[in-house]
Amino acid sequence: MSVMRRLTLTQQEQSRLQTLNMVLGGQVGVKEAAYLMGLSERHAWRILAAYRRKGAAALAHGNRGRQCANAIPEELKQQVIMLARTRYANFNHTHMTEMLEEREGITLARSTVRRILVSAGFASTRRRRPPRHRLRRERMPQEGMLLQMDGSYHDWLEGRGRWLTLLLAVDDATGAVPFALFREHEDTYGYFRLFEGIVRHKGIPLAVYTDRHAVFLHPTASASPERPSSGERKPTQFGRALGELGVHPVFARSPEAKGRIERAAGTFQDRLVAELRLAGACNMDDANRVLMDFLPRYSKRFSVAPAETTSAYRPLNCELDLASVLCFKYSRKVARDNTVKYDWRTLQLLPEAGHPGYAGKRVELQERLDGNLVICYQGQAVSTREAPPRPGLLRSGNGKSEHRLMPIPQWLDSILRQDEIQRDEREEKAASPRTTMPRKPTSRQQARWDAVQAQKNRGLSLRAIARVLGISRNTVRKYVTSDSPLVYPSRVMQWQPQLTESLIN
């Protein structure tokens, strides 16, 4: 009884004490006692033997009242609490654990630091979003109401070629793939081609569901001058095309949100990789040919029937030029010579009847998917051609191969033909026996030719040489193009009748 006074037994230990007394009194056996205590029979015999030797103290745990061997000293706990109150105030638990090890030489687990601080009333300063109850989203009732689009960068060719990116779209209502294609990278050009294939095969969907890739959404918000504080993001090229087609974009915040297309990509990585291996595809063109044969079989195998049989795809308007929508559009200002520059290319805007010109106007430059450049002014296409290269480019020799020869105008062609006829006549006269040998250049002609050649070697233009030497530009042109000083043939003295004095009178 003295032991009972010194020890405070728990309710479970008191229940076991009563059971052991029943065993000693012969009321129940050890097997029934083990069942009542929830122990094995062997352990019940062990407790019974200890109870006979030590009494009720045998029911208490041996470490009761002792300090754990790996317990944190109380002085260290107080030091951590003091540092959290002073030097590392408002630090979250993980950050403070790192600072204690790095600067204070105190190595503790994050859970230990958290337990010490929470017991002292220091909650973590970082606020986490509470878990939300998530529900599986229902499919759209009609085909074409929502398309999920994504890219999958994978070793599709299994080492037979470079890694490729599969751009695909999955219909949310049916799970079918209306179109897909392989590209080297996930870029805007590839998604333009993907959406073009969807429109050609099915029609225009109502909405698309994508991630926050830079193709679909600018990474940072840019305020417009009209609304500097709105924070609206300027649409990307692909987003602008969706707006022109009336397609509503929806952006996911996690891969799990668009799980349907994520699972479809996993199926493609399993089945399509095997078929590419079977076909021996080694490059992107071969992979796209295999993909076009694979898509109908995939949709037939894995698609489901929509809730409503009517389709939400909208037909393409016959008056709408799809190539003018699925393209890259830029704003450019027309130069004074009616030219527009883009990507090291210069386009010459051709004149039109009733229009004075486009100098200083803002035009829209469209880079089509086929590589052509189209200039539009106020919604109308403007006739253009490649502008002639500048003189500096021709002097360097870089513009000869790039410059395309333009047809000679009719008025210039007639002048050139007349000049050619006159040159032939001069050559015939020069070859006639009546023509004498040319005279030697005079000292003035020689000095002028030397001066013109010296100024030409300095790189001056014809206008500058004429201004410096004080002679006409036509004369300078003759001296520049000649290889020697200009000389003129001797005059041929033709017979003239001799007038006598009588005739003169």
Q: 454-459: list long-range contacts, CB under 8 Å, 24+ apart.
A: 456/480
Q: Do both 213 and 278 map to the same domain?
A: yes
E strand or H helix that includes residue 384: strand 384-386
Q: Is residue 298 within 8 Å of residue 269, measured between CB atoms? A: no
Q: Do both 154 and 195 map to the same domain?
A: yes
Q: How many domains does the chain have?
A: 5
Structure confidence at residue 246 (pLDDT): 93
- Tell me the β-bridge partners of 171: 147
* CATH at residue 346: 2.40.50
Q: Do both 82 and 166 map to the same domain?
A: no
Q: Do both 207 and 273 map to the same domain?
A: yes
In angstroms, the Cα distances linking 208 to 66, 135, 327, 452 are 66, 21, 18, 71
Name residue, tokens 């992979």: 287
Q: Do both 175 and 265 map to the same domain?
A: yes
Look up residue 430 and give its two tokens: 């020069």
In a domain, 130, yes or no: no
Q: Which residues contact 56 (CB under 8 A, 6 or more apart)?
A: 3, 4, 7, 9, 17
Q: Do both 161 and 198 map to the same domain?
A: yes
Q: Is residue 165 within 8 Å of residue 151, measured between CB atoms? A: yes
What's the rounded Cα separation, in Å, for the pair 94 and 96? 5
CA geometry: angle 177, 178, 184, nearest 5 deg:
80
For the full predicted model, state whether its pTM sits above 0.85: no
Q: Do both 168 and 240 map to the same domain?
A: yes
In a domain, 273, yes or no: yes
Domain that holds residue 26: 2-59
Torsion of CA 323, 326, 330, 336, to 10 degrees: 0
In a domain, 42, yes or no: yes
What's the rounded Cα separation, in Å, for the pair 199 and 241? 13
Q: Do both 448 and 335 map to the same domain?
A: no
Mean pLDDT of each 10-residue bin along the chain, 505 residues long: 56 86 88 90 90 84 76 90 89 89 91 91 77 80 94 94 94 94 94 94 94 87 46 84 94 86 92 92 94 93 92 90 92 90 87 82 91 89 84 60 50 65 73 58 81 81 82 82 70 47 43
* CATH at residue 263: 3.30.420.10
Look up residue 242 and give its two tokens: 């969706």
Q: Cα-atom radius of gyration of the chain, to the nearest Å? A: 47
Structure confidence at residue 69 (pLDDT): 77
Q: Do both 87 and 171 map to the same domain?
A: no
E strand or H helix that includes residue 330: strand 328-333
What's the rounded Cα separation, in Å, for the pair 180 and 197? 8
Structure confidence at residue 229 (pLDDT): 44
Q: Do both 239 and 347 map to the same domain?
A: no
Q: Do both 210 and 173 map to the same domain?
A: yes
